[in-house]
Structure 1
């Protein structure tokens, strides 16, 4: 059975990759005077909302920049002396994270927290610019850029107080470049994966053939080069694996939220700070944690089956597949942190940059889940921890939406690439 690849390409002679079809004027990206309202409007919205987000980072609330100030800055002081934070259970990141943690030190004239915000702001701007430029091409859409613009402010200060926007930058660029320059897309995915693992999934949905081989080669070559550099510059490059293996069930995860609700009906458990997160401590937690690992394996086995069975690849398939994989990763994880919603915002934005995407309703659910997450954290964080029933129910509802989004995403991906491909094969 042959594989079908459907792809839309910009019109010949369009050097900027912009569209003049359908009445749109041609864009000259280096000349702002030529930019139409459809480009200027999101730029204006970005400036307005990001100013507010920056203000929230520096508010007096203790959690606003506490992680950057207490953790990231302390790690930076260790890293600058040639060693990873060996023995620190909160250091659970691959070797490439050193570059992100050290980057704020290179920003002149500011302290560490301010430098971190500057670096994250630049990453945010690059993501938005890439989505605007890509969405202006033929058979593309600016809906993806608006998803990114609208979703991040829903999280108040979180995007600029964690480094997940920077990681999302590499995943977004990987997906956008995978079609035309697969080797570069694979390299970008490797850069992101060396900071946090999940951007590796950007190449999971690459169509078979030369594109997949080129993306895999770019990924492997970049990953090996980064590991060699990290091992040459720092001691303890793989010490982060010790912290990952000991993690328990965090209370914001799917099973964690169920245990919070069970506490209302007599479950004898409590919340304790361990390994960098607030985990459930109580009966059956260890068994539940092992069960989640089994579910992760089952989920990825299904994804591998999809990879083997998929026959019809559109230009949106790599992004659609990446969103499905990351959702499986999140919903079966023992830990769900608020910043995980930044991941799906970035991938979802790329999905909606393609008119052929299958994930449009899923992205809508994820925007709703993001808004609900902000109510849980940071707005009513203490009430959730205190076990107030309404807020625990809200957290469980958020997780139910994530679960529905995961199943729906996988089902739509399967129907578009496997079922449709099978029908085409039978009709030949």
Structure 2
């Protein structure tokens, strides 16, 4: 009994040790943001210039919490402390999973996906939202809709994407008033604190920042341009490689409105499924997958860490034994690690091997979206499910 309880934790330590080692500067550059960008923000904050408060910021304001916690010993110590913060948060969510009667298989799935994603899985703000979203999933399984809504809303105020998990909960679960009230309450507290600190309109600047970006080279929407030989360049403001053609700029300009419309359409599929009287667990899992994948497919950014977003939906799929969807996510995570960091030079150089792997990965996102939409449309009616 003790051995069976310790084995998942031994694997947890091993996987986190592996991805930490892969982030060593002699091994990969995947920890670049944590080594340079986050300490730079922390240093500026200590001098009285706080991004998100004193000027616009790419992230929602709660993204400051893990950065500030990691900078408690100074900006120079931030990278090491970041790994501690991520591991502690992951550990809490992992513990919650293992406490759930059916949490063992999802827990193992989470570790497998982390290993497949590689170093990036602990190297971005998205790494913070991962355990928050997992905690929300566990709360959903336990019928604690208020806690789930709180987790997803806190996650959304850290890196937006968990907001679609909240949307899936709103569509599928019966406690809609609770879901809305909790989200409104959390949002009110966050905004009031930010405004009290002097953020003004900057508290919502992350919503407009996205529309100012070009088409990032890893984005699904960028794939055809690579094969057409479109030039690319490095954006010193966004700190990323983007395609540099008028056509790519035009696609980037309309991507965000398309993202919003597509998200609403996919949510509509969930509404129709619920009205048909399908199993709510099935609908909730596939709707979460469809919504998260829609954010990725229609996004002009396309960063490799976006694959982290699929981990919480993957656990929902494990919960309903939808192994076809889990298998697609497994492949996507593996291909993402190949794209970044190991073949990133080939991707930037638009060499054949890099473009082939990137294209396969991006095609995988489309396959996953299509599969999720199809499942939502074909879920059978269940007696008494309405």
Q: Normalising by structure 1, report the TM-score.
A: 0.80
User: Who is 1:159 aligned against?
Assistant: 121
Q: Equivalents in 1 of 2:293, 2:363: separation in Å?
A: 12
Aligned residues, how many? 377
Q: 1:231 to 1:61 in 2, by over 3 A?
A: farther
Contact (CA 8 Å) 2:39, 2:78: kept in 1 or not? yes
Larger Rg: 1
Partner of 1:222: 186
Q: 2:130 aligns with which of 159, 164, 168?
A: 168
**Candidates 374, 385, 388, aligned match of 2:337:** 374
User: Residue 220 of structure 2 aligns with which residue?
Assistant: 254
Partner-residue secondary structure (3-state), 2:168: coil
How far has the Cα of 1:107 moved from its partner? 6.0
Task: Find the counterpart in structure 1 of residue 68 from structure 2.
Answer: 102
Q: In structure 1, what is the Cα distance between the partners aligned to 2:57 and 2:290? A: 27
Contact 1:89 1:242 in 2 (8 A): no
Q: 1:341 to 1:269 in 2, by over 3 A?
A: same
Match 1:50 to one of 8, 16, 38: 16
1:141-220 to structure 2, matched below 5 A, reads: 142-178=104-140, 179-206=142-169, 211-220=175-184
Higher share in helix? 2
- Over 3 Å counting, the alpha-carbon distance change for 1:87 and 1:188 in structure 2 is closer
Distance 1:255 1:388 in 2: 18
Show the counterpart of 2:195: 231
Deviation at 1:61, TM superposition (A): 4.5
Partner residue of 2:297? 331
Q: Secondary structure at the match of 2:233?
A: strand
Q: Note if 1:288 corresponds to 2:251.
A: yes
TM-score by length of 2: 0.88
CA distance in 1, matches of 2:19, 2:139: 29
Could you tell me which runs of 5 or more consecutive residues in structure 2 were left unpaired when the two chains were aligned: none
The aligned counterpart of 1:342 is 308
Tell me if 1:304 matches 2:270.
Answer: no
Deviation at 1:331, TM superposition (A): 0.7
CA contact (8 A) 1:182 1:214 kept: yes
* 1:406 aligns to 2:369 (yes or no): yes
Structure 1 residue 172 displacement after superposition: 1.5
**1: CA distance, partners of 2:337 / 2:288:** 24
- Verify the 8 A CA contact 1:184 1:215 in the aligned structure 2: no
1:198-255 Cα offsets, whole Å, 9 max, x none, are 1112222336675121122111101111111122235343343443221111110112
Change (3 A) 1:220 1:109: closer
Q: Is the 8 A contact 1:183 1:216 kept in 2?
A: no
CA deviation vs aligned residue, 1:355-401 (integer Å, no higher than 9, x gap): x35x4311211111111111111012112111111221110111001
Instruction: Return the match for 2:39 from 73, 76, 80.
Output: 73
Structure 1 window deviating more from structure 2 (59-68 vs 178-187): it is: 59-68
Superposition map of 1:376-391 within 5 A: 376-391=339-354
Deviation at 1:284, TM superposition (A): 1.0
CA RMSD of aligned residues (A): 2.8
Residue 110 of structure 1, CA deviation: 8.2
Distance 1:92 1:106, change over 3 A: same
Answer yes or no: is 1:128 the counterpart of 2:94. Answer: yes
Mean Cα deviation higher: 307-316 or 249-258: 307-316
Q: Secondary structure at the match of 1:271?
A: strand
